[in-house]
Chains A and B, each alone.
Chain A
Amino acid sequence: MIDPRLDIVVWAAVLILFLLMGMRAWAVETTAARHYRKSARVRALNGATAVALVGLVGLMAMQGGVLLVQAIVTRTDPETFVTVIGGDNNTDQAVADPDDKPDQPAAPADPNAPPAGAPGAADPNAPAAPRGAAPANPGPGGAPAGQQPPGRTGP
C-alpha cells in the first residue's frame, strides 16, 4: 500500500541528502590537511550522509520501492497487487474514445458535420489542386480565409 501524501517526506530526505553531500564536498575540498579523511568534520559529515542515505533508502522502500522490485523480479503487473490510497490529482486525463461510453450522454455533436448525403463533397479523384489554390471545398473545417499557403518551392 502506498500513500502518496508521504511522498513529501521522501523529497525532503532527498533534499537533506543532497545538502549533506554538498557540505561534505565543501569540507573535503577546503580541508587543508592532505589526508582529508582524518578531518573531524569530514568524518562527521560522512556519517551524517550515510545515515541520510540509509534513511532515504528506507523511505523509498516504504513508498513503493519494495513493490517495484518485487514486480520486476517476479515480472508481475504491479496493478494486481499495489494499492495507492488518496493522493492529489494534478494531471489532465487524456480524452477517451467517445464511442467507449454507451451508457453516458452522447458525445457533443459536431456542429460542422455535414448532414448525410450532403451535396458538394469534393471529388477525391479530382486532380490535385495546385499549391496555393483555393481549397476544393473549404467548408467549415477548411483553412481559414486569409491563410492560404505560400508556394512550396521555398519559404
Chain B
Amino acid sequence: MQRQRPPVPPPAPPSIGIYRWLSPALALAAVALLPIAAATTDLSSLDGWGLAKVLGPAAWASMLCAVAACAAELWSPRPRIPMLGTATATLILCSYGLPSVVEPAARFSTAWLISGFVDAMAGDGRVVEGYDARFYWPAFFAQWAWFRDAAGATQLDEVLRWFPPVIVGVWAIGIYALARSMLGGHRAPWAAAWLFLGLNWIEQDYFSPQATAIVLMLTPLVFALGPLATRRTDAAGVPGWPKPHAEAKRLALPRRWLVAALTPPNRPTLPPRQLLLIYFCAALCIMAVAPEHQLTPFAIIGQLVVLAIVGRFRGRGLVLVGIVAVVVYILIAGRDFWLNQLDMIIGSGNAEDALQAGVSDRLAGDAGQKFVKVLRIAVPGLTWLLAIVGAWVYWRRRRDLTPIALAAVPMAFAAQGYGSEVFLRIVLFGLPILSILGTDALRWMARRRRGMEKVLAAGMAVLFGSLILIRGGNESYMIVYPEEVAMAREVYATTPPGLEVVPLVSGVGPYAVDGIDTHSRGNSIEGCSDLADDPVRCVDLQDPDVILSFESTEAYGRDLKLKPPGWSLDAVQQIVATGEYVITYQNGFDVVLRKVEPGGAP
C-alpha cells in the first residue's frame, strides 16, 4: 500500500515587519505637517524665486515624508495597492496641493479668468461672442456653469483652489493604468505615476478646459493600450518591420504596407459585450473632447492613428469617430471661429518664431526667474533623454518602437505654429508615454544594480523638491488673495454695465473674475498691450472708466520686467496726475482708479 504524502503547505507569505506601519506613519506625518507648513510660510516675502524660497521647513518635511511613504511601501516585500494609492494621494497633496494649502485662494490669474467665463455662462447658458477665442470651445465652461447653477452656488472659489491636486490625481490614475498595460509588474506602474508627477512642471492643471481634456485624452489611450491592445498576425508569414530575426527575409516595403493594411488586428480576449462597452466609452470621450479644447483632440487622434497604422489596437473606427467629431464641430459649431479667426487654424507655420516666443523670450526676469526657467527647459530635455533610453530597453524586451512614436506625435503641433505655448503642450501631451518609457529605463538600471534603488529614492526626493521650485517659480505674480477677488467683484458690482474696466497689466490678478458679459475690456491699441506699457499715453488712448491694479501687478513688473520696487504705484500716480482719475480704493498695491465725472457734477 502506497503511503500518501501529506500535501505540502504553501509557503508562508513573507513577513512585512516594519513596513506594515512605516508607510502609513509617514503619510500621516506628511499630512499632519501641512497645517504647520501653512502657518510658517511667509507669503509677503515672495520674490523671483517663487514659492520654494518662502516655504517653511515643515512644508519641505511634509513633502519628504510623502516621498518616503511612497518609497517605503514600494520597498515592502508585499506592496499594498490601497496603501500605494494613499501614499500617492499624499504625495500629490504635499507637492501639487502645496499652493492650495499655504495660499489663501486659488493661484493663477487664468484660473480666475476661466471662472469669469463660467460666470458669464451661468444662468442663461449663452456663450459670449467676440470676447475670447476660448468661447468657441465652451464645453468646460458650460459644464461648470451647469454644476454651479445646479448646486445653487454663486462662485467657484474653493473649486478653483483645490482643482489642481484633484485633477492631477485623476491624471495619475490614467498613467498608472497605462503603465500597467505597457510595463506590467506590481511596482513599475506606481513608479511611472510618480515619475510623471515629478516631471510634470507644466502648469496646465489649473481650473481649465485642457486639464479636463487630458483626462479625456488619457482614457481612450488607456483603452487602446490596455483592453483593446492587440497585434496584427500575418497569416502569410510576411515579417513586419523591424524584422524580428536577423535571418528573416525582408519583403518590399509597399508589399509589407499592403499586407499590414489588409490584415485586421487580432480580436482581444474579451467578451464582445465588454469590447462594445469599451468602444462606447472611448468614443464618448473622443467626442466629448472636441468641444472641450482646441488642441487635445488632435493629440489623441494622432496617437490613435499611429496605433492603428501599426495594428496595435482593435477598434480602428475610433479614429474615424474622432476625425468626424472634430471636423464637424469646427465646421458647423465653430463656424464663427473659422470665419473670423482662420489664422488660428492655419497658424503662422513658423516654428522658429514659436521657438523664440516659447523658449528664448521667456528667459527674462531676475536671477530667480531665469534659474527657474532654465530648469523648465532642462527638465523636458532630460525627460526625453531618459525616455530614449527607456525606448531602447522597451525595444530590447518587446521589439516595439511604437511608444516613442506616440510620444513624438504631439511634436506636429510645432509645425502648425500654434504660438508660444505650443512647447508646453508638446511636452504635456507626450509626457504620459515619456514617463512610462523613463520608468522602464529606471527599472532596467535598478535590476542591474540593486543599490540603485536607494539612489532612485533619493532622486525622487530631489525631483519633487525641484517640482515645487519650478512650478512655484512665478508665484510672486501668480498668487491671488481673497481681498483682491473681493475688490474686483465689488468693482463690477458697483460699476454700471457697459462701462470699461481694464487692468493695469493683463494676465496677473483676478481682474476678469466677473463682468465678462457685462463690461467692456476696451480695444487693442498698438503699443499698449498693457496700460502699464506707457501709463499716461495708453490710458489716454484707451480711456477706461475703471483701472485695476493688484499686488501681483507690482510683483510682475518687479520680478519679471525688472522694474524698480513701487513702479505700479508710480504708474498710478502718473495717471492720477492727469486729473482724469482718482483712487477710490487702495490697500497696499491693490488699487482701484475711477475716471472722474466731467464737470464735477456729483
Contact = CB atoms under 8 A, between A and B. Distances in A.
A24 to B, nearest CB: 7
Contact of B582 (A17, A78, A118, A143): A118
Contacts of B583: 121-122, 124, 136-137
B272 A29 contact: yes
Interface stretch (B7-15, B82-90, B321-329, B377-385): B321-329
B130 A94 contact: yes
B546 A96 contact: no
A147 B584 contact: no
- A contact face: mostly helix, strand, loop, or mixed: loop
Contacts of B361: none
A58 interface: no
B120 A129 contact: no
Contacts of A65: 331
Nearest to B336: A91
B254 interface: no
A132 B126 CA distance: 38
A92 interface: yes
A150 B44 CA distance: 13
Contacts of B584: 112, 114, 137, 139-142
Interface stretch (B143-151, B175-183, B275-283, B425-433): B275-283
Interface in A78-103: 78-79, 82, 84, 90-100
A150 B315 CA distance: 55
Nearest to A60: B331
Contacts of A29: 267, 272, 275-276
Contact of A116 (B38, B345, B585, B599): B599
B579 interface: yes
A3 to B, nearest CB: 11
Interface string A112-155: 11111110011011101111010111111111100111101111
A64 interface: yes
Given A68-B338, A78-B338, A143-B486, A24 B595 contact: no
A22 B327 CA distance: 19
B294 interface: no
Contacts of A108: 496-499
Interface stretch (B98-106, B238-246, B436-444, B467-475): B98-106
B407 interface: no
A107 B44 contact: no
Interface string B239-280: 000000000000000000000000010010000100110011
Nearest to A87: B335
A134 to B, nearest CB: 8
A114 B129 contact: no
State which size class the interface on B falls in: 35 or more
Interface string B86-126: 00000000000000011110000000000000001000101
Nearest to A133: B587
Contact of B328 (A60, A79, A93, A95): A60
Given A112-B594, A131-B588, A18 B283 contact: yes
Contacts of A126: 586
A60 B126 contact: no
A107 B498 contact: yes
B41 A124 contact: no
State which size class the interface on A falls in: 35 or more
B475 to A, nearest CB: 12
A48 interface: no
Contacts of A2: 335
B42 interface: yes
B600 A112 contact: no
A10 B332 contact: yes
Contact of B546 (A18, A53, A75, A141): A141
A60 to B, nearest CB: 6
A2 B339 CA distance: 11
Given A72-B346, A113-B595, A114-B594, 14 more contacts: A11-B328, A56-B328, A78-B339, A91-B127, A92-B128, A92-B129, A94-B521, A95-B517, A96-B520, A110-B595, A128-B588, A141-B495, A144-B490, A150-B104
26 contacts: A14-B325, A21-B321, A30-B272, A60-B328, A60-B331, A64-B335, A77-B342, A79-B340, A92-B124, A95-B517, A96-B520, A99-B522, A110-B495, A114-B594, A115-B602, A117-B600, A139-B585, A140-B584, A141-B494, A142-B490, A143-B587, A144-B486, A149-B483, A153-B41, A153-B42, A153-B44
